[in-house]
Structure formats: structure tokens, C-alpha cells
Chains A and B, each alone.
Chain A
Amino acid sequence: MTSNVIADILSGTILFAVPLMLVALGGMFSERSGIINIALEGIMVIGALFGCLFLSVVEASGIGAAYSQLWVLGAVLIAAVTGAVFSLLLAFASIQLKADQTIGGTALNMMAPAIAIVLTWVIQGQGQSTILIPSWVRITQANFGITAGNGFLERFIFKSLFLTTPLAFILLIVAIVALYKTRLGLRLRSCGEHPQAADSVGINVYKMRYLGVSISGFLGGIGGFAFTVAAGSGFQSSVAGYGFLALAVMIFGNWKPLNILGASLFFALFKVIGSYAGSIPFLPQFEGIKSAEYIYLMLPYIVTMIVLILTSKKSRAPKAEGIPYDKGGR
């Protein structure tokens, strides 16, 4: 029994770490280029909306079950592209028009769920506010032609496996290589630290910042989709504050990809422990207190706060983030 619970916790941790990590990585690209992207929550919603709409169209036309993972890949791509397009609104306001970045981001955060609800109503009819996710999205043993077992490894791998999980690890590696091993990555980082210096050696700061924000939209869109399939109950025009959590994970991860991976796993672990607390034998159960589950639900937030306070000395944000780049300024 215990091994089953541990397998469930571990697989749940990875499941919820994936969207956090993707979105935080997105935020990292944006902030490393110098734009504070507080709109991650909204970008996630937009990505999830269009990804899920695509899946429901496929499901409705009855061609879903065959090539199921190909359709999921299509949905991921759509989520990524729509997320990137939506993020351009932030880029335009904060780069082209030099507007306050938190204001633009807040507007997008407010706009996205509203667009999602309005569009869902228009497409599905009045009051139909949930887009159901087809069951074939999850990868099962059947996809590989193996018979289903219930051992530790099977549970760990197949309890909740989605295409987004392996994809996320590929994207993580791509992100690390892109940020640290390519000319583009170096240029992007320089724009977040000292845009004037970057400009003086011929780097187009505006272009780099557009790129950074679009990457954050791309990854944020995928993250939103990954969260929605992981949460399981269909898309209801919300990603439950995960965009803001990803922002916290990004700061917690000190704007570095591997640290972000660690931070998202850490946060997700405590989150999952929080929701599984009732079935973990060695945790105190607080008998005599009603609704004690709230104590465990608080856990990830409190632990993150403590870690943040302890590690805050080392925290270092990109120097030029949040400041609009003005060619004429010094």
C-alpha cells in the first residue's frame, strides 16, 4: 500500500511540476530579456483555451481515438502559438509604446479568462462554461501495446502520463542550450542586464525583447494546456492561479533553468503531499480539527516562503527588467 502511495505522490509531483516549470521557464526568457511578464496567468488561459477547443473539435468529428497523441501534439502546438500571439499584446505595449509592464500584464490577466468564457459561451451555447477534455488524451499502457499492471513502476509512469511531460523535458534542455550555448541566448541575456551596452555593440534590443516575450508566450501557452489536462476536470476558463505560482517559482529558481526545474519539483511535491495528506500514514492527521485538509493545503506556500527568506541573499533579478528601453536615454 505504502509503495502505491509513494508512486502516486511521485507521479503527481511530476505531473504538476511540468506546467509550473514550463511557464516559469517562459517567464525567465521574458525577464532575462528585460520585460517583467506578469501576464503569464492570462497567457496560460489562452493557450489552454485554444488547445482544448482543438481537442473538442477533433473529438466531435470522431477521429480522435486513432492517432490520439498526434492530435495532442497538434493541440500543444496550437496552445503554444496562440499563447505567443497573445503575449505580443504585452510586447507591443511594453516595448513599442514603453508602457508600464505591470499594467499591460494585469490587463492581459483580466482579459484572458473573460475572452475564454465569452468564446466558450459563443461556441458551446449559453451557460456551457466547461470544455471537456477527451479521455484519449492520457497515455496508457495500451498506447504501447503492453498489458496494464499495478506495480510500483507502472503506477509511477502510467498513473497520469501525458504527452506534455516528455515534451517538457525536451523543452527544458532546449531552453538551457538556447539560453547559455547560443549567440541568441547571450544577446537576449545582455538585453536584460544592460540594454544600452547591448545596443552599442549592434544588438537590436527591441527585437530581442520581442523574442523573449514571444518565447514566454509560447512556453506559457503549452504550460496552460499541460496544467489543464493534468487537472483533469476540463477547461473552465481558469488555471487556478498557476501563472502567479509560476512567477513565484521563477523567482524562487533565481531566473536559471535548472534551479527553476528544482523549484517547480519542490513546490509540486509539497502541493501533492498537501492533497494526498489523508492517505499518507506517517503524517499527523489533526483529529478533532474540522477540515484539517486546509493545514496541508497551506503547506507548499509556507514552505516556499521559508525557503525564499533563507535563500534571499543569493536572489538576483536581471538588472534592467521592468525598465522600458529608450534609445535616447542613458
Chain B
Amino acid sequence: MKHKYHKGLINGMASLISIVMGLVFGFALLLIFNPRYALPGFGNLMSAGFTSSEKLAKVFYQSAPLLMTGLSVAFAFKTGLFNIGATGQYTLGAFFSLVAVVQFRLPWWAGILLAMVGGAVMGFIPGVCKALFNVNEVITSIMFNWISLFVVNLSINNMPLLLANAWGAINKDRTAALTSPKFVAYNPNATIPKAGLDQLLGSNYMNIAVFIAILIALIIWLVMNRTTFGYELKACGYNRFASDYAGINAKRNIILSMTIAGALAGIGGGLYYLSGTAQYTIVKSLLAMGFNGIPVALLASSNPLGTIFSALFISFIQVGGDLLQPEYSREIIDIIISVIIYLSAFALLMRGWISKLLMRNQTENVNEELDDSSASDDAAESEESAK
């Protein structure tokens, strides 16, 4: 069973092929819509994140919440659940973190912890509905996305301290700017520390959020792959009834995995809104950040370590996409991402091709080996590279 060793590599290659094909498709779109700007536009798209340290900071800044919502969706996927409620969990998490630092004057890390609690609550409810009442988690999550949005909007409107106009600004349709002088005097520890990174990259957007997110991704990977708890969660995902039969409490595990998934998305909300550069705006539509977690998870085949890279990648081309305007609308990025996701749905097929290709190389090498013993070095080499 040698090909088992290649699983991670094959997944990665399949994702890479989808990315390349998606980008080619995107370039074709640029050519069709406005041939004159296609080449510089595509160049911008692919390099913007690296052109200046400020842009790089923006990539990191956006990737932190993306990574968390992606991790949330990926975690649920691994345990056989589809968490489409990351948006609601993210929203409630953001709200809890803001209440913590504004209303209770707590430091930022307490805000993140409370964000985790907020998200967990919104994950717990669909989990309970699924485990105890057999209500599909997709529908519960959709309902609670809206419920949490409206609850948050209602609460913020009724907490005058949270609104920006309590801190010297004129608008009352958004929450307080955590970096306004009046607020800093009130709670200097409200924002996530920058640890000098802002000076290093010369951008206000930079803080340690992305490193916190990466650390959490590592922890989740460890839990999933190196603990009994993670094994039980995954077992329930593969076959709920079989794991029940094997003595695993499937109901408890469904509730737990939705709660953890919710907590992860909630942390994302905290990481974004305690950055000091973001303000929660009261609107009647769901926040896109939660939904963007879905492509992040899918691109990474729900691997927690993979989500780190896919979040960085999606954030990277989103920053590049801003530079497409005004020649193109920036939504071309969304088309590219969706094409990549669509192609990665063929992953099964592609994995088949790739492993066939690798296997064929191997068998060819084996045949050569039989003919000529000197070829054995080549075989060993190709195996090395395959790993």
C-alpha cells in the first residue's frame, strides 16, 4: 500500500492544479472583458501582495479571520457536518468581543475568549438540534445566521456605549473605533497587540492576529490527528451508527464538534474586530467573511494545516483583486475562486489521475529494474520525489 503515503501530496497537487486552471480561466475573462488591460491587470492580481510591505500586511490582516472561519468549516466537515453557520457564529463572536472591551473594559485577550464563547453558543444550538431532534444542521445554521445578525444589531442599537458616536465620532451606524484617542484613554488594552510588526511592515493593519490563528490551526490539527477525542469525532463523521455501535457517544460528539466549530468562527470575529482597524457596521445582510470560510476549507480538503495556506492564498488574491478596479470589477476574483472550488470538486477524479500517473511511473521503474538492475536508483529517486 505504498500509494497511501502520497495522500497529502496528491491532495496538494490536485488543489494546485485547480488553482492554476482557475487562474488561467480568470486571465481568459480579463482578456474577454478588456483585452488592453488584461496583462497588467493579471500581473497586479498575482503580485500585489508582494509589491509593498503595506499590501503584505493587508494580506495577513484579512487572512486571520478567513483562516478561523475556514478552520471552523473544515473542522465540521471532518466530523461529517456542514457548518454553513460560520457567518452567524462569526457575528456573535465579534459582538461578544466588542462588549468585553467596551462595556466591561476588559483587555483584548479576554475579548477573544468571550468571542470564542459567543461563537460556541451559536454552534451549540445547531448541534443540539441535530443530535437530539434530528433537524438538519444546514437549515438550523441558516436560520441562526439571521437570528444572530438581528440579535446583534438589536443589542448594539440598545447599548449606546458601543456605538461610534459615544466616542467623538458622528456616525451611529457602526461600533466604536477602538483606536480613537478618547477610547484609547478609556481602555488602552482593547486592541490586539502589534508587537512591533506594524513598524516592520509599515502598516496599521498588521498585528499578531494571524499568528494566533495559525497557532490555533496547529492545535486543531494535533487534536484531530493525535488524540482519541479527535479520532472519535472523525469516526462519527464517517459513520454515525458504526461509531455508536463501537461505544462512542455520537450525540455528544455531534454537539461537541458543532460547538468547537462555532467557537473557531467566533474567535475569527474577535480577531478581526479587535484589530482596531475594523468597525462593525449595522447592516441587514449577513457578513461575507463567514461564507468565505467555505472556499478556504474546501480548497484545503478540510485539512487544518492546509487551511493556513488556502486562507493566505485567498486573502492574497483578494488584495490583488482590489487593484483590478477600475478597469474591471473586483468580483472577477470571486469568479476565479469559485472556479477553483468548482474544479477542486473534481478532486476525486484528479487524485485518481495523479496517483495513476505516479503508480505508472513506479511500475515502469519496477519493470526496468527487472531488466536492468542499474535502474533501481531512478526508482528510488522517483519515489523520494513522490513522497
Give the bracket for the number of chain A residues in contact with chain B. Answer: 35 or more
Query: A-facing mask of B321-334, CB < 8 A → 1, else 0?
Result: 00000101101111
Whether A60 is near chain B, meaning CB under 8 Å from some CB there, is no
Whether A100 is near chain B, meaning CB under 8 Å from some CB there, is yes
Is B154 within 8 A of A294, CB to CB? yes
Query: A-facing mask of B135-167, CB < 8 A → 1, else 0?
Result: 110111011101100110110011000000000
Whether B359 is near chain A, meaning CB under 8 Å from some CB there, is no
Stretch at the interface among B111-119, B241-249, B262-270, B340-348: B340-348
In the assembled complex, which residues on chain B have CB atoms less than 8 Å from the CB atom of A289?
Answer: 154, 158
- Distance (whole angstroms) from the CB of A325 to the closest CB of chain B: 14
In the assembled complex, which residues on chain A have CB atoms less than 8 Å from the CB atom of B124?
Answer: none
Whether B280 is near chain A, meaning CB under 8 Å from some CB there, is no
Query: B-facing mask of A244-269, CB < 8 A → 1, else 0?
Result: 11011001100000000000000000
Is B134 within 8 A of A312, CB to CB? yes
In the assembled complex, which residues on chain A have CB atoms less than 8 Å from the CB atom of B138?
Answer: 38, 247
Whether B376 is near chain A, meaning CB under 8 Å from some CB there, is no
Set A102, A247, A290: member contacting B139, Cβ < 8 A:
A247
Whether A198 is near chain B, meaning CB under 8 Å from some CB there, is no
Whether A323 is near chain B, meaning CB under 8 Å from some CB there, is no
Whether A169 is near chain B, meaning CB under 8 Å from some CB there, is no
Is A248 within 8 A of B335, CB to CB? no
In the assembled complex, which residues on chain B have CB atoms less than 8 Å from the CB atom of A294?
Answer: 150-151, 153-154, 157
Give residues 93-110 of A contacting B (CB, 8 Å): 93-94, 97-100, 102-104, 106-108, 110
Is A111 within 8 A of B334, CB to CB? yes
C-alpha spacing A289/B328, complex, angstroms: 44
Query: A-facing mask of B117-140, CB < 8 A → 1, else 0?
Result: 000000000000100011110111
C-alpha spacing A67/B338, complex, angstroms: 39
- Chain B, Cβ-Cβ closest to A295: B154
Give residues 279-330 of A contacting B (CB, 8 Å): 289-292, 294-295, 297-298, 301-302, 304-305, 308-309, 312-313, 315, 317
C-alpha spacing A298/B139, complex, angstroms: 15
Give chain A's interface secondary structure class.
Answer: helix
In the assembled complex, which residues on chain B have CB atoms less than 8 Å from the CB atom of A102?
Answer: 82
- Distance (whole angstroms) from the CB of B173 to the closest CB of chain A: 11
- Distance (whole angstroms) from the CB of A254 to the closest CB of chain B: 12
Is A247 within 8 A of B142, CB to CB? yes
Stretch at the interface among A6-14, A69-77, A118-126, A218-226: A118-126
6 more A-B contacts (CB under 8 A) besides A97-B349, A305-B140? Answer: A97-B348, A107-B295, A114-B332, A114-B335, A240-B285, A290-B158
A interface, CB within 8 angstroms of B: 38, 89, 93-94, 97-100, 102-104, 106-108, 110-111, 113-115, 117-118, 121-122, 126, 238, 240-241, 244-245, 247-248, 251-252, 289-292, 294-295, 297-298, 301-302, 304-305, 308-309, 312-313, 315, 317
19 residue pairs from A and B, CB less than 8 Å apart:
A89-B342, A99-B345, A103-B342, A103-B344, A107-B339, A107-B342, A110-B341, A113-B331, A114-B332, A115-B335, A121-B328, A126-B326, A244-B142, A290-B157, A298-B150, A301-B143, A302-B147, A304-B143, A315-B136
